[in-house]
Amino acid sequence: MNSKAVYPGSFDPITNGHIDVIKRSLKIVDKVIIAVSSFQRKNFLFTLKERIEMIKETFKGDERIEVDSFDGLLVNYLKKKNLNLIVRGLRAISDFEYEFQMALTNRKLNKEIETIFIMPGEEYFFISSTLVKEIAKLKGQISCFVPSVVEKKLKEKFNY
């Protein structure tokens, strides 16, 4: 069996919550492609290149992880890769409505696509990239929320 899933997101930056979802995904599939969105819906702190580099460094040596980027619709990326499985992390009720809407929209655009939702461990349930960036900007302790490579890059971005 050589099953693959795509875990899409902006990962600005990747957090321990994202990492937990990826590790849990690998209990279900053989390989996870972390697909970093370049779509400028958000004002990113990190460039696409920086986000990809941090993710690659985080998973260095793990052949079950592939890091890629995409622009445009996720369904088009999946079609190009000949894949049909999306992994999404689901933290709270507030996430559910958006994720449910996206899963149904993707399915409408391509009926072959399936989305599986994975909840992170309770120690990561509240973590978001936005929260981590706010804490880092205010020079708070972030080592429990992100891998060391991300902590270093956040400190560089905020000059401390």
Whether 91 is a known active-site residue: answer yes
Cα–Cα distance measured from residue 40 to residue 57, given in angstroms and rounded to the nearest whole number: 23
Whether 51 is a known active-site residue: answer no
β-bridge partners, 66:
33
The pair of three-digit structure tokens given for residue 2, joined into one six-digit string? 């050589």
* Active-site hit among 10, 25, 37, 129: 129
Whether 3 is a known active-site residue: answer no
Residues 6 or more apart in contact with residue 120 via CB below 8 angstroms: 17, 20, 21, 24, 89, 91, 127
* Active-site hit among 42, 49, 108, 137: 42
Neighbours of 4 (CB within 10 A): 16
* Active-site hit among 4, 31, 79, 91: 91
- Enumerate the active-site residues: 18, 42, 91, 129
